[in-house]
Amino acid sequence: MTISLAFGLSAWIPPAGLLPFRGQRARPYLYTEQEVQSLLVAAKRLSPSNGLRPWTYHCLFGLLAVSGLRISEAIKLDRQDVDFNQGLLTIRQTKFNKSRLIPLHVSTRDVLAEYAQRRDRLMPIQSSPCFLLNDHGRCLESSNVRRTFYALSRQIGLRGPVDHTGPRLHDFRHRFALETLIHWYRTGEDIERRLPVLSTFLGHSHAADTYWYISIHPELMGLATKRLEQRWGADS
């Protein structure tokens, strides 16, 4: 699935001392497109093959890859939060007690709509208003989602057979943010003006959380430096 962003990003790096100190974060794992596709294929092979579970995990992992949602936000989505007519997700009362809207690309909307039809057919009596359901008609639990993700990660080689560390679900969010920034730099968008929009889109409470992405990725730093050199050259 793909998502089309209606906002774009100049090469601006905040000066040292502008942002508050934050503890060191784990460096995100950047999934390749092939790895994402392999995970989606593996999800559709989950048991029971005639149940809802394979389709729920296929939909969940695909949504995380294209939306930048936190896993907690994705599993808390209610049916009323998915607007197929407007192509919007409503993320309510999230990590920082704020709500926001997420636009959906038409391909993503179609996948979600197909899942909803299948869900209602396989699970006509549901005990939960959640959009994504398990085979008992209830909302997904984050612990079960993570165990399933770890098992599939081992199947497709993202983790070793006995590894307890490796790519995380949260890294889908990092991948989304970094690919968006790289695309904006490559297409000449105004980073300084547009970066706060990405911050809002991701549900960050502090701009520093979004600026952090520029500093951790070699290609982004290279693109930012190149943009600054071009500016300085034009001004000299």
Does residue 155 come out as left (phi exceeding 0), alpha (psi in the -120 to 50 range) or beta? Answer: alpha
Coil vs helix vs strand at 3: coil
Coil vs helix vs strand at 84: coil
- Residues identified as active-site: 70, 95, 170, 173, 204, 213
Give me 83's structure tokens.
Answer: 């607007």
Question: Where does the chain show beta strands of DSSP type E?
Answer: 82-83, 88-91, 100-103
Whole-angstrom CA distances from 41 to 44, 78, 110, 117, 156 are 5, 25, 18, 20, 10
> What φ, ψ does residue 53 adopt, rounded to 5°?
-55, -50
3-state helix, strand, coil in the chain (%, to 5): 50, 5, 45
Q: Does the N-terminal peptide bond of residue 48 adopt cis geometry, omega within 30 degrees of 0?
A: yes
Give the contacts of 223 (CB within 8 A, at least 6 positions apart): 11, 182, 185, 186
Q: What is the DSSP letter of 103?
A: E
